[in-house]
């Protein structure tokens, strides 16, 4: 198996294609994340792999700060309380701690998924929360075999919650979780995942 580095992965037709759903609205985000997504005044919310940002536009108001980050420069217009950053989530980080980090069906296309989860957890302000769709089956050993329970055990020991049925990962609180895996590269030929769309496997040494 030949593994892709980030630069090659970002150019892959699996990561940038017009078949993926980039247009979810707020009601869909609520269902996918299992959150009410009420944003009290002053809330700072970062949405990784935000797609069109439709959900964010529905939540935006002058008294909140919402930032959507995506590789693709194709968003709904920015509005008070909402801005967009065109960047790989693998390289971007917020300037100040945030209250909420979400990633709706974006991790499926990221290379170093575990590295991103660790970094995103470390951005949270006290009491903050990270929630993302995450398929543990997409995280593999160097030989391509799933890390499976080794991964879910390590995630829970690090303080992440993992909802196997809904394939959702969460983190609450401060600090930077530690995970005992070294990223090797990505496989964009993994085929469809549970969503039915072609996704990216991420390979790690443990």
Ligand X SMILES: C[S@@+](CC[C@H](N)C(=O)[O-])C[C@H]1O[C@@H](n2cnc3c(N)ncnc32)[C@H](O)[C@@H]1O
3-class SS at 200? Answer: coil
Q: Which of 4, 14, 24, 100 binds ligand X (CB under 6 A)?
A: 24
* Burial degree of 58 (CB within 10 A; 0-12, 13-18, 19+): middle
Verify binding: residue 185, ligand X, rule CB under 6 A: no
Q: Which is nearer to ligand X, 30 or 173 (CB)?
A: 30
Nearest-approach distance from CB 90 to ligand X, in angstroms: 5
Q: What is the spatial distance between Cα 44 and Cα 66, in angstroms, rounded to a whole number?
A: 6
Q: Which of 1, 19, 27, 72 binds ligand X (CB under 6 A)?
A: 72
Sheet holding 98-103, edge to edge: 82-86, 65-70, 44-48, 98-103, 124-133, 168-172, 161-163
Q: What is the spatial distance between Cα 196 and Cα 108, in angstroms, rounded to a whole number?
A: 11
Verify binding: residue 124, ligand X, rule CB under 6 A: no
Q: Which of 37, 57, 67, 70 binds ligand X (CB under 6 A)?
A: 70
The closest of 63, 68, 65 to 29, measured between CA atoms, is 68
Verify binding: residue 22, ligand X, rule CB under 6 A: yes
Q: Which is nearer to ligand X, 23 or 63 (CB)?
A: 23
Q: Which is nearer to ligand X, 137 or 173 (CB)?
A: 137
Q: Which residues bind ligand X (CB under 6 A)?
A: 10, 15-16, 20-24, 49-51, 70-72, 88-90, 104-106, 109-110
């Amino acid at each position: 198996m030949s593994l892709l580095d980030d630069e090659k992965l970002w150019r892959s037709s699996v990561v940038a294609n017009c078949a993926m759903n980039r247009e979810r609205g707020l009601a869909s985000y609520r269902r996918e994340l299992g959150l009410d997504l009420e944003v009290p005044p002053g809330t700072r919310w970062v949405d990784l792999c935000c797609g069109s940002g439709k959900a964010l536009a529905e939540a935006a108001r002058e008294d909140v700060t919402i930032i959507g980050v995506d590789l693709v420069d194709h968003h709904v217009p920015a509005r008070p309380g909402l801005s967009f950053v065109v960047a790989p989530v693998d390289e971007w980080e917020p300037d100040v701690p945030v209250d909420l980090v979400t990633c709706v069906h974006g991790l499926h296309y990221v290379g170093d998924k575990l590295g991103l989860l660790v970094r995103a957890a470390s951005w949270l302000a006290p009491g903050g929360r990270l929630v993302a769709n995450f398929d543990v089956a997409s995280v593999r050993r160097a030989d391509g075999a799933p890390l499976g329970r080794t991964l879910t055990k390590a995630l829970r020991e690090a303080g992440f919650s993992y909802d196997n049925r809904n394939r959702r990962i969460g983190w609450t609180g401060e600090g930077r979780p530690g995970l005992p895996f070294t990223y090797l590269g990505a496989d964009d030929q993994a085929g469809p995942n549970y969503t039915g769309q072609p996704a990216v496997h991420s390979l790690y040494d443990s």
